[in-house]
Amino acid sequence: MQNALVPAQGGGTRHVISHGPSFAMLRLDLVPGQTVVREAGAMVARHRQVAMEVKLNAGKSPGFFATLKALFIAMLRRWIGGETFFVNHFNTPAPGSVWLAPTMSGNIVYRPLRGETLVLSTGAYLAHSGDVDLKLKFGGLRGLLSKEGAFFLAVSGQGELWFTSYGGIETIDVNGSYIVDNGHLVGYEGELTFDIRTAGGGLLGFAASGEGLVCEFKGRGRVYIQTRNLQSLVGYLTPLLPR
Amino acid sequence: MQFDVLYRPAHALARVWLQANESVVAESGAMVGMSSRVHMETRSGGFLSGLKRMFGAESFFRNTFTAHGAPGELLLAHALCGDMRVLEMTQAGFFLQSSAFVASTPNVEIETKLGGFRSFFAGEGVFILQAKSASPGLLLVGAFGGIEELVCDGNMVIDTGHLVAWDATLTYSVGKSGSGWIASYLSGEGLVCHFEGHGRIWIQTRNPAAYGQDVASLLPPRQG
């Protein structure tokens, strides 16, 4: 078993990512006073003393309108797909573990956050701990043309983040500009700016090239991509279904 | 008899070495290949137990492979991408999630059991299997994703979709995950299995039903 034990520094959460890269699973060892937040629906197992509480993700200390907005987005996302954006808070009165896994085959990445912002695509968020804020980010009108591009999740603060990919995960250090297929994008660092457009330019290119929408990144920073694309799997399976 | 698991962990294939006149029982459809001296015989084990198995999302029939007169080999695979594990039978035996069964030595009795009334709503685990044997034997289980052995020392809560097998020494009950039904629904966990006691639990790192629902929700509706 390839158990990659990644020691967390500075009083972080002890965690183990195993069964990667194809079927990665995350184990978090919690001690009293520590809280871990994760995407609703990702729990595999937990010790019974680890308590779970469901919360609507409306950011840190939201006002009434922020809560209402979060609820609206949660419903919208339920309708268009992606996380419902209810999150589960785990904490424990005695040491205990919780095991988490994504739905698709793929890997899990651990990333400590030291005040920077990381923007994740729909479905890539798995869990976080510490003083971290999650904000939904609208991908723009063009982003609505594809499910992956409609919403992004901006993760910022001091703490730890675990995110997942469909397939393997590759990091690309962008300096200048770089183009990534929308469906293969996992996340990017906040200093980068991007524009969603068609790969070849023009509507015909969008329909005929099979490349769909792409994100063109500009600036300097890291982009995370996944080696598989859910829309491609769906596109492959659809004509094979019985009529 | 010997089981070797090859191509682990993503696409496991089990090779069963049979001595002359030895038999192994396998789930219908699991056979990948076999040497020519190995003969297959299909049994339902009685109409009623076959019918019970069908409700448990398994096949009506199970196949018995026998190496006639000379040693032989048999290759077995599970339908989904993932790992396989050989479990040595214990006195208490095991409980299995119904699609986890791949094969066993013929002395292992596999019985279909009702997994608990509440699990009916989850569409999974309505029926579970109990594996028992009076003498030493082997059981081959298959999973979706990797297989992890957890040790339950007191109590644990496991998502029903991630269960593969557990020691029958453990007591279990299927129930909601959170404190209330609404919280359980919003948490996205659906149903979980509460375990108590001491024993081992084997889990799969992916949930087949959740995977199916996620992909299916993106496919066009079935016609007719």
Is residue A219's pLDDT more than 90? yes
Is residue B132's pLDDT more than 70? yes
Which residues in chain A have their CB less than 8 angstroms from residue B186's CB? 40, 54, 84, 86
By CA distance, what is A229's nearest residue in B?
Answer: B215
Q: What domains does chain B contain, in order, with CATH numbers?
A: 2-216 (3.60.160.10)
How many CB pairs lie under 8 A apart between chains A and B?
Answer: 121
Q: What is the pLDDT of residue B175?
A: 78
Q: What is the pLDDT of residue B207?
A: 92
Distances (CA, A) of A9 to A14, A26, A91, A99, A113: 9, 17, 20, 20, 11
Residue B221 DSSP one-character state: P
CA pair distance A77, B8, nearest whole angstrom: 37
By CA distance, what is B159's nearest residue in A?
Answer: A44
Which residues in chain B have their CB less than 8 angstroms from residue A18's CB? 146, 148, 205
Q: What is the pLDDT of residue A41?
A: 74
The pLDDT tens digits of the residues spanning A25-35 come to: 999 999 998 88
Is residue B120's pLDDT more than 80? no
Across A203-209, average pLDDT? 56
CA pair distance A183, B186, nearest whole angstrom: 27
Cis peptide bond upstream of B9, omega within 30: yes
Is residue B62 within 8 Å of residue B27, measured between CB atoms? Answer: yes
| Chain A interface disruption, residue of B198, B201, B205, most A CBs within 10 A | B205
The pLDDT tens digits of the residues spanning B49-80 come to: 666 666 655 555 688 999 999 999 999 999 89
Q: How confident is the model at residue B122 (pLDDT cuts 50, 70, 90)?
A: very low
Q: What is the pLDDT of residue B181?
A: 66
DSSP reduced 3-state for B75: strand
Is residue A201's pLDDT more than 90? no
- Give the domain ranges of chain A: 4-240
The pLDDT tens digits of the residues spanning B24-50 come to: 999 988 999 999 999 998 876 666 666
Any CB–CB contact under 8 A between B146 and chain A? yes
Across B83-110, average pLDDT? 94
Q: What is the pLDDT of residue A2?
A: 35
Is residue A209's pLDDT more than 80? no
Is residue B205's pLDDT more than 90? yes
> Contact B178/A25, CB-based, under 8 Å?
no
- What is the residue-averaged pLDDT of chain A? 80
* Fold of domain A4-240: Double-stranded beta-helix (3.60.160)
CA pair distance B27, B57, nearest whole angstrom: 12
What value of ipTM does the predicted structure carry?
0.84
Q: What percent of chain B has pLDDT over 90?
A: 55
The pLDDT tens digits of the residues spanning A2-40 come to: 333 344 444 578 999 999 899 999 999 999 988 888 877
CA pair distance B212, B219, nearest whole angstrom: 11
Which residues of chain A have a Cβ shorter than 8 Å from any chain B Cβ? 1, 18-19, 22-25, 39-48, 52-54, 81, 84, 86, 88, 99, 101, 103-105, 230-231, 233-234, 237-238, 241-243
